[in-house]
Chains A and B, each alone.
Chain A
Amino acid sequence: MLEAVDLACERGGRSLFRGLSFALRGGELLRIAGPNGSGKTSLLRIMCGLLSPTAGAVLWGGAGIRRLREEYSRRLVYIGHAPAVKEDLTVAENLAIACRLAGLAVSPREIRAALEKFELSDWPVKRLSQGQRRRAALARLLLSQSLPLWLLDEPFAALDVTATRDVEDLIAAHVARGAAVVYASHQEARIDATVSRLVDLVAAA
């Protein structure tokens, strides 16, 4: 389904990784591992098409994602470093707008359910703590269960124990449903998946 062919990435004149190839099918979990500055975020951004690789290509169903553009991006959800929520809007407004932009039809009831699940009140985001903002971003996952590809950058950063477990369960359930999930993290998360792969960026440097 998703295939990386001979990827190389250079940032600021320094080579982060090269000759990186892997393939990922539905129902598989992929962890991108490596120390800080090893290019985990760059690889994820390349995989969702926000960054163009120095060499190589990412293929979705055999076609290059640079050519597919929104045909590809409507099939994935990317949760990056930044929470990607607007400070002046409430959590529910943020979720509704993010889902509508991603082409997902969600009802207010589903959004309320997502807020409850992540124990968030419907406040303007500027009144929330960092951890709560992170949770507001991750609540999108609950509304994106129909999408076949999740790309998550450090999903467990700034989360408490229960929220971490919730997200781990969400990922495990999504993989069991036959979708592909990629996440970048220093440490191994406890996620049950039949096929669990690892891309170690230190080996590809």
Chain B
Amino acid sequence: MLAAVRCVVYRDLLLALRRRSDVATALLFFVIVTSLFPLGIGAEPDLLRSIAPGVIWVAALLSCMLSLGRLFAADHADGTLEQLLLSAAPLGVIAAAKALAHWLVSGLPLVLIAPLIALQYGLPAALYPVLALSLLLGTPVLSMIGSIGAALTLGLRGGGVLLSLLVLPLYVPVLIMGAGSVEMAAAGLAPDGQLLLLAALLIVAAAFAPWASAAALRISAE
């Protein structure tokens, strides 16, 4: 079973390596969106500092959405999805591996680059670890919830728009906890509560999302 996870993750990472532009697109989108706000709002340090956590988190949600459409669609188009459905490991395990690979390619780079964006907004350095930790806990949840939506909208016309309508409302709790934790820390309070709730969301998503997306994949593949 672990061999199947390793195989799917290796496959998806290898594919991402061969198509680096796809990975770069999502990351550049994140950087550009977060850079647009200071240009539009004006260089008011206090204002920028107070909106920074929210802006970074919303940009992370949108950037994650951007790459979700390809999660299963490419495999569906060339027939490899059928082979994944017929693999020797349970489909839930395969779906979990796909979500993990998606996070490694499109979530982890955001975690790593977020402190740089925070610097641009003039956030105090003490907040970087909280911001990075909240993204580290939250972005895998985005990938896993997103994989359910991507599986459900597979092969539909206009699936991309439907996917965002379906998934973005489900991202709200993650957004509230994630941005909330950084704001708490900025106000000088302990962000532990929000971070623990994010960790709880992560555990619940890891336990249930792969099976939900497996069931959705079975329906969509018919």
Contacts and interface: CB of A to CB of B under 8 A. Distances in A.
A102 B18 CA distance: 24
Contacts of B78: 82-87
Contacts of A48: 86
B87 interface: yes
Contacts of B10: 97
B46 to A, nearest CB: 48
B15 A89 contact: yes
A102 B150 CA distance: 24
A102 B87 contact: yes
Interface in B76-98: 78-80, 82-91
A124 B14 CA distance: 13
Contact of B83 (A49, A81, A89, A101): A101
Interface in A73-120: 73-74, 76, 78, 80-89, 93, 97-98, 100-103
Where chain B touches its partner, the secondary structure class is helix
Nearest to B222: A51
Contacts of B4: 100-101, 103
B19, B85, B86, B91: residue with the most chain A Cβ atoms closer than 10 Å: B86
Given A81-B79, A101-B4, A76 B19 contact: no
Interface string B1-32: 00110011011001100110000000000000
Contacts of B200: none
Interface string B190-222: 000000000000000000000000000000011
A84 B86 CA distance: 12
Contacts of B7: 97, 100-101
Interface in B175-200: none
A145 interface: no
Contact of B79 (A74, A82, A89, A101): A82
Nearest to A103: B88
Interface in B31-46: none
Contact of B14 (A49, A80, A87, A93): A93
Nearest to B18: A88
A52 interface: yes
Contacts of B221: 50
Interface in A35-69: 48-52, 69
Interface residues of A, number: 29
Where chain A touches its partner, the secondary structure class is loop
Contacts of A50: 82, 85-86, 221-222
Contacts of B14: 89, 93
Given A85-B78, A93-B14, 4 more contacts: A73-B88, A100-B4, A101-B88, A103-B89
Given A52-B222, A84-B80, A85-B80, A97 B86 contact: no
A166 interface: no
A192 interface: no
Contact of A101 (B8, B15, B18): B8
23 contacts: A49-B86, A50-B82, A50-B85, A51-B222, A70-B90, A76-B86, A78-B82, A78-B83, A80-B79, A82-B79, A83-B79, A84-B79, A84-B80, A84-B83, A86-B80, A89-B11, A97-B7, A100-B7, A101-B7, A101-B87, A101-B89, A102-B83, A103-B89
A88 B86 contact: no
Contacts of A82: 78-79, 82
A70 B78 CA distance: 22
Contacts of A93: 14
Contact of B84 (A80, A85, A101): A101
A104 to B, nearest CB: 8
A39 B89 CA distance: 29
A123 B216 CA distance: 34
A102 to B, nearest CB: 6
- Which 5 pairs show the lowest CB-CB distances between chains A and B? A82-B79, A103-B88, A74-B88, A84-B79, A88-B18
